[in-house]
Structure 1
Amino acid sequence: MKKLVEGFVQQLRHAIEIGESASVTFSGPKYKNVVIAGMGSSGIGGSIIKSYVADKLSVPLLLSNGYNIPAFIGPSTLFIASSFSGNTEETISAVREAMEAEASVCFVTSGGELLRIAQENSMPHIVIPDDSGQPRASLGYSLVQQLYLLYYAELLDDTFKVELAQSINLLEEQIGSIKVQASALASTFRGKLPVLYASDLFEPVAVRLQHQLNENAKQLAHVNVFPEMNHNEIMGWQYPEKLFEQLVVLYIRTSYDHQRVKLRMDLSKAIFERKEQSVMEIEAVGATFMEQVLYLVHLFDWVSVYLAELNKVDPETIDNINYLKGELSKV
Structure 2
Amino acid sequence: MKELIENFAQQLRQAMQAGESENVNLAGPRYSNVVMAGMGGSGICGNLAKTYVANKLTVPVLVQKCHSLPAFVGSKSLVIATSFSGNTEETLSMVRQAMEAEATVSFVSSGGEMLRIAQANNVPHLTLPTDAGPPRACLGFMLVQQLYLLHYAGLLDNAFKTELRQSIDLLEEQAGSIKVQASALASSLHTRLPILYADETFMPVAMRFQQQLNTNAKQLAHVNALPELCHNEVETWQNPSELNERLAVLYIKTGYDHLRSRLRMGLVREALEQKGQQVLEVEAIGATMLEQMFYLIHLFDWVSLYLAGLNKVNPGDTETINHLKRELSKV
Aligned to 1:324: 324
CA distance in 1, matches of 2:143, 2:107: 12
Question: Matched residues in 1 for 2:319 and 2:99: separation?
Answer: 33
The CA distance in 2 between the partners of 1:3 and 1:133, in whole Å, is 10
The alignment partner of 2:48 has SS state of helix
- Who is 1:39 aligned against? 39
- Separation in 2 of the partners of 1:199 and 1:295? 16
1:114 is aligned to 114
Aligned to 2:174: 174
CA distance in 2, matches of 1:200, 1:26: 31
Q: What letter corresponds to residue 110 of structure 1 in structure 2?
A: S
**Is 1:260 matched with 2:269?**
no
Deviation, 1:27, is 4.7
Q: What is the identity, as a one-letter code, of the residue corresponding to 1:201?
A: T
Q: Percent identity?
A: 63
Q: Supply the AA of the counterpart residue of 1:258.
A: H
Q: Match of 1:130, as an amino acid?
A: T
Corresponding residue SS for 1:300: helix
Alignment match, 1:79:
79
What do the CA deviations read for 1:164-187 (whole angstroms, capped 9, x no partner)?
000000011111110011000111
* Aligned counterparts, 1:57-206, within 5 A: 57-206=57-206
- Tell me the CA shift for residue 245 of structure 1: 1.3
Distance in 1 (alpha carbons) for counterparts of 2:291 and 2:184: 22
Find the aligned partners of 2:3 and 2:254 in 1 and give their Cα distance. 28
Runs (4+) of structure 1 exceeding 3 A deviation are: none
Aligned partner of residue 5 in structure 1, secondary structure:
helix
Residue identity in the other structure for 2:40? G
- Aligned counterparts of 1:292 and 1:172: Cα–Cα separation in 2: 14
- For 2:48 and 2:329, locate their aligned partners in 1 and report how far apart those are by CA, in whole Å: 30
1:288 aligned onto 2:288: yes
Read off the aligned partner of 1:86 and give its amino acid letter: G
Question: Aligned partners of 2:132, 2:245: CA distance in 1, in Å?
Answer: 38
Q: What amino acid maps onto 1:257 in structure 2?
A: D
CA drift of 1:26 comes to: 1.8
Q: CA deviation at 1:275?
A: 2.4
Mind listing any 5+ residue stretches in structure 1 that lack a counterpart? none
d(CA) in 2 for partners of 1:262 and 1:27? 41
Q: 1:28: how far off?
A: 2.1
- CA deviations over 1:27-63 (Å, ceiling 9, x no partner): 5211111000010100111101111111100111111
CA-to-aligned-CA distance 1:123-180 (integer Å, 9 cap, x gap) = 0110011213300000000000000000000000010000000000001111111001
CA-to-partner distance for each residue in 1:206-229, whole Å, 9 max, x for gaps? Answer: 000000000000000000000000
Match of 1:53 in 2: 53
The amino acid that maps onto 2:6 is E
Q: Which amino acid aligns with 1:205?
A: V
TM-score, length basis structure 2: 0.99
What is the rounded CA distance, in whole Å, between the counterparts of 1:27 and 1:180 in structure 2?
Answer: 46
- TM-score by structure 1 length? 0.99
Aligned to 1:301: 301
Q: Distance in 2 between matches of 1:205 and 1:199?
A: 10
AA matched with 1:81: A
SS at match of 1:106: strand
Judge which range, 124-133 or 9-18, deviates more: 124-133
Q: Distance in 2 between matches of 1:102 and 1:242?
A: 55
The letter of the residue matching 2:275 is K
Tell me, yes or no, if the aligned pair for 2:27 and 2:154 is still in contact at 8 Å: no
Counterpart in the other structure of 1:243: 243
> What secondary structure is seen at the aligned counterpart in 1 of 2:36?
strand
1:275 and 1:116 map into 2 onto residues whose CA distance is 57
CA RMSD of aligned residues (A): 0.7
Alignment correspondent of 1:208: 208
